[in-house]
């Protein structure tokens, strides 16, 4: 219901294509087990029992090069239909995936008690009947809460100054009996009389939008299908804008729906003809404009129309798209304020342009570019503009008036931490809401008076089973990459965990799309750290921890920097006593799964195990298939191997599926997937594990396929925790810590 950075944050994220890697919300002295013997093969006796996928060779020729794919048949020819109806999956493929799941369960059955223990720990660290701090809007305050034992969020509101609560949408009631159920958004109308809500019941991220009257709970008849799940209300509360997805799961059209009418009659506002661009729609923080944005990793473009525009009004282009230029738009007064990297502003600047003529020729710098200071976003309020910056991987909030006569910073002193802006609903306000947390400090929500600079703590995340931040050490260290670059690494450990090479190390990474893994507080990670595991996050190139240039230095022809940075981080951490060579577990998901796969091929000797969640590992085949949903927009991230032989050679040289080595021993591997995942299709981890079994030594190699979910797994909070326990129990078995008791905390 609320978003960080601004009400257009979701739109900007779509256009920036940040992939995966969002924050997870599940989430004395300990004797650390010293690993005196090389473990690294705790599942070895089971490898012979693994299912062997049938080999059906298929030749693929590109640029005069022929490669053979023995497992291409695992991709269902009717994958689009499977996204909408998983029952359509080919029988042969289903039999194989079921066999993989059966093997995994049999091979890890001895971990069931540990998984249950981990689940109880994770559950004990969350306040089950938690609720957000209410956000005021007009006469009401809106919030999201959970009930004790409930799986799904409940969207509620109360009168602004107190009174009885009204339930707007009860996720537990609505999702009861569903195999999969995810709520995209519950958006209330400006007059506070209606809600529009988006729900996905398959995991494929095709959301149905429906409309409900708040006072009576009465549903309107229409269902708007194949959307992104969000409704952007027009000013009159009688209609809204939404994004329609096509049969290839691409956001293609912005449409305008009038409440109470047939969706077949919805007005087409804008259609994006270029499959390489994502499309989104949002509303300015001021509430005065509807903003339609298209974008990919290197280019973006915006259109606008008044929020009170009549249906059929043509949106106005702000500035035509240019390659290698990004811009994101907000509004204040007579100007659009634009966050852009134009004019070689690598770390971005803010310009403004008059609404009546906002083309580039009229852009004027409002805040100039400063190399090394990365402007990640901003929120315009009536009297002040709030921006979020990052320098050398640490964030800060900067408050400025529009004349830039009064400017000041809000920052903190821990070695690593996260700051988040919550824009809320109101534009004319003197209160800024922000959140603060670190790997050892639970999230705190503050209301900050922009005039007096006083902060009021509105909420501290509760850990009912107990949490003592003083038991932990948070460190920000820098390791040296092959080319001399200084790579930040965030480390969380117990103070009692030694840094002498005897403690186990779990190293997490992502490193793509310019997405930065923040220094969040995670209740789930504590189940590892409290057993003496050192948990480290490597902020490698390909992310934007040190600014946009850090991202540019880890993409396209420089992508291998991401993998070498990760391997360098593992090796140097081990040399410094954070873990031991051959006994580190690496962990990543989606593009982070690519990181895991490529780094395993690069330096398998460094690791004792690997967890690759929904891993993007069949890179050259996927990025050569223009029919897949994400392929055209991702050519700017990886290269276009269809038309560019050099891009083909670069990708083919690191694609994990195509570079499995037969001259080394690989550690045990757990790969996961989701049948209705359109982002990283289920056949990527399925093919990878099958080929690893055929060509690689070591292992064993496991595939755990979720047959009832997509990219993010279950949307039910306790089921999501249970899924996480599989990853952690696997790592703890590698470490030999399945019997290790966690450190005790005083109950909260």
Question: What averages of pLDDT result for each successive group of 10 residues across the chain (748 residues)?
Answer: 39 40 34 32 60 96 97 96 94 97 94 97 96 96 97 96 94 95 97 98 94 97 97 98 93 97 98 95 97 96 97 96 97 98 97 97 97 95 96 93 93 89 94 96 96 95 96 97 97 97 97 94 97 98 96 98 98 96 94 98 97 98 93 94 98 98 96 94 98 95 93 88 96 95 83
Which one, of 290, 268, 267, lies nearest residue 280 by Cα?
Answer: 290
Question: Structure tokens of 118?
Answer: 């981990």
Task: Identify whether the C-beta of residue 306 lies closer than 8 Å to the C-beta of residue 234.
Answer: no
**Distances, alpha carbon 646 to alpha carbons 176, 301, 557, 638, 653, in Å:** 51, 29, 9, 11, 11
What CA–CA distance (Å, rounded) separates 5 from 434? 9
DSSP 8-state secondary structure symbol assigned to residue 182: E
Task: Identify whether the C-beta of residue 722 lies closer than 8 Å to the C-beta of residue 709.
Answer: no
What CA–CA distance (Å, rounded) separates 303 from 289? 10
The active-site residue out of 299, 590, 655, 714 is 590
Which one, of 61, 16, 75, 458, lies nearest residue 278 by Cα?
Answer: 16
Cβ neighbours of residue 260 under 8 Å, at least 6 residues apart? 220, 221, 222
pLDDT at position 737 is 95
Which one, of 394, 524, 506, 474, lies nearest residue 24 by Cα?
Answer: 524
**Distances, alpha carbon 368 to alpha carbons 235, 339, 403, 407, in Å:** 34, 11, 14, 15
Crossing angle (nearest 10°) for helices 560-575 and 591-602: 70
Can you tell me which residue has the tokens 């002040």? 384
Strands 267-271 and 239-245, how do they pair?
unpaired
Residue 158: strand, helix, or coil: strand
pLDDT at position 589 is 96
The active-site residue out of 76, 228, 677, 727 is 677
Residue 68, beta-bridge partner list: 59
pLDDT at position 716 is 87
What CA–CA distance (Å, rounded) separates 539 from 516? 7
Q: Is the pTM of this model over 0.75?
A: yes
Task: Identify whether the C-beta of residue 228 lies closer than 8 Å to the C-beta of residue 301.
Answer: no
The active-site residue out of 3, 711, 714, 726 is 711
The question of whether 711 is a catalytic residue gets the answer: yes
Task: Identify whether the C-beta of residue 167 lies closer than 8 Å to the C-beta of residue 156.
Answer: yes
pLDDT at position 714 is 85
């Amino acid at each position: 219901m609320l978003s960080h950075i601004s009400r257009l944050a979701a739109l900007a994220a779509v256009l920036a294509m940040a992939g995966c890697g969002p924050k997870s919300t599940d989430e004395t002295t300990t004797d650390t087990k010293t690993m005196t013997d090389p473990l690294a093969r705790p599942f070895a006796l089971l490898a012979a029992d693994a299912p062997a996928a049938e080999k059906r060779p298929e030749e693929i020729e590109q640029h005069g090069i022929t490669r053979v794919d023995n497992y291409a048949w695992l991709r269902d020819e009717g994958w689009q239909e499977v996204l909408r109806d998983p029952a359509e999956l080919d029988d042969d493929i289903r039999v194989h995936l079921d066999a993989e799941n059966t093997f995994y369960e049999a091979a890890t059955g001895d971990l069931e008690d540990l998984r249950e223990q981990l689940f109880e720990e994770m559950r004990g660290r969350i306040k089950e009947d938690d609720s957000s701090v209410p956000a005021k809007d007009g006469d009401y305050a809106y919030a999201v809460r959970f009930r004790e034992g409930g799986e799904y969020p409940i969207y509620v509101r109360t009168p602004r100054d107190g009174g009885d609560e009204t339930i707007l949408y009860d996720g537990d009631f609505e999702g009861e009996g569903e195999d999969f159920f995810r709520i995209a958004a519950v958006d209330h109308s400006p007059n506070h009389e209606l809600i529009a809500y988006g729900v996905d019941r398959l995991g494929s991220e095709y959301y149905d939008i429906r409309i409900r009257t708040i006072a009576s709970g009465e549903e309107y008849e229409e269902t708007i299908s194949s959307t992104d799940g969000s409704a952007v209300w027009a000013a009159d509360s009688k209609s809204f804008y939404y994004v329609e997805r096509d049969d290839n799961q691409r956001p293609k059209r912005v449409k305008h729906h009038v409440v109470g009418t047939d969706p077949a009659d919805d007005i087409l506002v804008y259609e994006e003809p270029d499959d390489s661009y994502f499309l989104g729609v949002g509303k300015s923080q001021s509430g005065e404009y509807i903003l339609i944005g298209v974008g990919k990793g290197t280019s973006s473009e915006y259109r606008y129309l008044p929020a009170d525009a009549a249906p059929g009004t043509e949106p106005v282009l702000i500035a035509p798209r240019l390659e290698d230029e990004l811009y994101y738009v907000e509004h204040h007064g007579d100007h659009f304020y634009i966050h852009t990297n134009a004019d070689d502003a690598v770390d971005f600047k803010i310009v403004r342009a008059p609404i009546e003529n906002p083309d580039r020729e009229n852009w004027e710098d409002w805040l100039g570019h400063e190399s090394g200071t990365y402007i990640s976003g901003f929120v315009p309020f009536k009297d002040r503009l709030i921006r979020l910056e990052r320098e050398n991987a640490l964030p800060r909030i900067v408050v400025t008036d529009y004349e830039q006569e009064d400017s000041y910073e809000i920052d903190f002193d821990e070695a690593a931490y996260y700051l988040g802006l919550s824009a809320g609903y109101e534009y004319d306000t003197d209160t800024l809401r922000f959140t603060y947390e670190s790997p050892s400090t639970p999230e705190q929500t503050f209301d900050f008076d922009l005039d007096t600079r006083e902060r009021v703590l509105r909420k501290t995340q509760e850990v009912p089973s107990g949490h003592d931040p003083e038991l932990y050490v948070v460190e920000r260290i820098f390791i040296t990459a092959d080319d001399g670059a200084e790579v930040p690494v965030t480390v969380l450990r117990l103070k009692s965990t030694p840094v002498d090479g005897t403690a186990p190390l779990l190293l997490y990474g992502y490193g793509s799309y310019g997405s930065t893994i923040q220094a969040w507080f995670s209740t789930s990670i504590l189940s590892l750290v409290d057993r003496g595991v050192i948990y480290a996050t490597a902020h490698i190139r390909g992310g934007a921890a040190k600014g946009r240039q850090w991202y540019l230095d880890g993409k396209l022809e420089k992508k291998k920097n991401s993998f070498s940075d990760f391997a360098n981080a593992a090796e140097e951490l081990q040399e410094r006593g954070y873990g031991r060579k051959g006994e580190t577990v690496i962990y990543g998901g989606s593009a982070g799964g690519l990181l895991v796969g490529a780094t395993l091929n690069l330096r398998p000797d460094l690791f004792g195990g690997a967890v690759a969640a929904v891993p993007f590992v069949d890179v050259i085949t996927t990025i050569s298939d223009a029919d897949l949903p994400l392929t055209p927009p991702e050519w700017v991230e990886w290269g276009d191997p269809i038309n560019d032989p050099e891009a083909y050679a670069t990708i083919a040289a690191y694609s994990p599926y195509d570079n499995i080595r037969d001259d080394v021993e690989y550690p045990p591997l757990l790969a996961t997937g989701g049948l209705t995942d359109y982002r990283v299709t289920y056949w990527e981890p399925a093919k990878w594990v099958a080929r690893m079994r055929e060509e690689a030594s070591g292992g064993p190699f496991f595939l755990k396929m979720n047959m009832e979910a997509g990219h993010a797994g279950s949307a039910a909070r306790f089921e999501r925790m249970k899924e996480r326990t599989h990853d952690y129990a696997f790592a703890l078995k590698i470490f030999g810590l399945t019997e290790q008791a966690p450190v005790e905390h005083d109950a909260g």
